[in-house]
Chain A
Amino acid sequence: MNYTEKIREIAARLLENGQVDMVMAWEKGDLEYQTIPFIARTVDEVSRIVCDEYSIHNLSNYLLRYRDGKEKIAIVVKGCDSRGIVRLLEDNQIARDRLYIIGITCDGVKDPLRAMRQHSGFEKVEKPEDGLAAKCLDCRQPNPVIYDELLGEEQTPRGGEDRFARIAEIEQMSADERYKFFESLFSTCIRCYACRQACVACNCRTCIFDETRPQWVGRETSISDNFMYHLVRASHMAGRCVECGECERVCPVNIPLMLVNRKLIKDVNEFFGPYEAGMEYVEGRKPPLSVYRENDPDDFL
């Protein structure tokens, strides 16, 4: 995947004619496998823009910093990232007319974090993996669902047959087994909140975990506070997660967060669906758990 030249052209055009104040894309970091988010604000900066096989970050999350501003923003989004834009629009976080969305169809990207780690000496690796990022193997949406300009040929999803297979297995466990399973996952959490920070759906102005009056969740890295953190985080994702996989990718202790998110995707789909979050933007439409209906199912309570 390499859209660098095309995006530079578009960015130069948009900045030059004043259509936007900034272009959110990527630039190269220090190492060949390092591509990092970058915001170009002038035509001079456009030459730094890249969009290559390591452009993995879901930039829609970065729009949150500008939600109170008036700037017009061009943003480059892959298929999965574009669902993040729908998330923000549905959540009234940013106005559609402030955005110029450059959609790119995506045949999968590599993970700079994985490459950094594998080349760092901090991991025992025979030979660094050079394939697609883990999250791309489960790709549901390689083509942007919302855009003002689209680049690339239509792609077919690479996601496996049944993305809920592992969920079904866990559902089959006994309550004790399940508890042990989740305990082993969450006991390792160091509460760095990287999963929250990387998440476009985590757009509350004051996150419940930062609230101090009252303080809802304790700050100990104990199994009970960790559980509380992850359960609350997960349930806030219900019907809202756009499956960009960033939370799991950035986790420094490799907690399989998408497993938890998928359980909720599956449940929301079964109880309130058919429903896939952020697949289409229709003004005024909300995710199932953001509206109350008298006939909402409640037999799972």
Chain B
Amino acid sequence: MHSSNTQNPLVPGIVEVVKIIDETPDVKNFYVRCVDGGVPFNVMPGQLAMVSLVPVGEAMFSVSWQEENDHLEFAIKRVGLMTDELHRIEVGQKLGVRGPYGNGFPVEACKGKDMLFIGGGIGLAPLRSFIKYCFKHREDYGKITILYGSRTSADLCFKDELFDKWPKEKDTQVYVTIDNPEEGWDGHVGFVPAYLEELKPNPEGTIAVICGPPIMIKFCLQSLEKMGFNDEQVITTLEMRMKCGIGKCGRCNIGHEYICLDGPVFNLAQLKQLPPEW
């Protein structure tokens, strides 16, 4: 899985930003494409790529969707120096990108299962790649349930998909919640783990996929366990500080596993073998 556009896995290839969508006040979705067309590499749902605004910095992001051989999408939240700068760029900007990194979601092993996606905040970005993959291969998967929450309604990402496109898909339920009541919001109010307990999804033949802030993940794991999901039925995707992406620089380890190589996707059974340092 070496970077396809260069011999040296630590040197990025160049892509162009072809579209920028404002998802929320602090999340933008960047579409990137090679300068002479096409994607820089093929990505499986849940895999990562190192994106650089070359003079500023380099950071690892989940690829939130690959649209055929047309473009890659990165939904990026403004949280630090590098992402601050990224939020200032305009269409036409060239970025460095290298990857793909990591294992990605077990799309094959999930075939024939009902899928329960649980996301919080920007955590929907990696899940989205799997959700859209399921819709693209709709006949391979059973019932699809999406539970998503954010702090406020303004912080909900991918609103048109969430409220318009996804609910129209076959056998699909979308549940959305925000942390606190808000004027003009008639949807559900409350934290994601609490909503999960209300919804009481049936564990029978279901795979739950979770991504969000560590604290949300931890509570959801507990809830799912209580509902009878076994450890192989629960999958999460983790985030750590990363620098190299190829298992050399050391910092993204949880126990002897490196998030960039062996992760970012782990099931609960694997996670329980590792120190709780995430």
Contacts and interface: CB of A to CB of B under 8 A. Distances in A.
A216 B81 CA distance: 12
Contacts of A213: 80-81, 84
Interface string B77-103: 000110010000000000000000000
Residue of A213, A214, A215 with highest tally of chain B CB at under 10 A: A213
A213 B80 CA distance: 7
Interface residues of A, number: 4
Interface residues of B, number: 3
Nearest to B81: A213
Contacts of B81: 212-215
A212 B84 CA distance: 12
Interface string A203-225: 00000000011110000000000
Contacts of B80: 212-213
B237 to A, nearest CB: 24
A212 B82 CA distance: 10
A215 B80 CA distance: 11
A215 B81 CA distance: 9
A213 B57 CA distance: 12
A213 to B, nearest CB: 5
A230 B80 CA distance: 27
A215 B84 CA distance: 14
A212 B83 CA distance: 13
Nearest to A213: B81
Interface in A174-223: 212-215
Interface string A139-166: 0000000000000000000000000000
A226 to B, nearest CB: 22
A154 B84 CA distance: 59
Nearest to B79: A213
Contacts of A212: 80-81
B119 to A, nearest CB: 27
Interface string B50-85: 000000000000000000000000000000110010
A153 B103 CA distance: 68
A214 B80 CA distance: 9
Interface string B242-257: 0000000000000000
Contacts of A215: 81
Nearest to A212: B81
B259 to A, nearest CB: 20
B85 to A, nearest CB: 11
A214 B84 CA distance: 11
A298 B81 CA distance: 35
B236 to A, nearest CB: 27
Contacts of A214: 81
A214 B81 CA distance: 7
Nearest to A214: B81
A146 B259 CA distance: 50
Interface in A208-248: 212-215
Contacts of B84: 213
A149 to B, nearest CB: 42
A80 B14 CA distance: 57
7 contacts: A212-B80, A212-B81, A213-B80, A213-B81, A213-B84, A214-B81, A215-B81
Interface of A: 212-215
- Which 5 residue pairs spanning A and B have beta carbons closest together? A213-B81, A213-B80, A212-B81, A214-B81, A212-B80
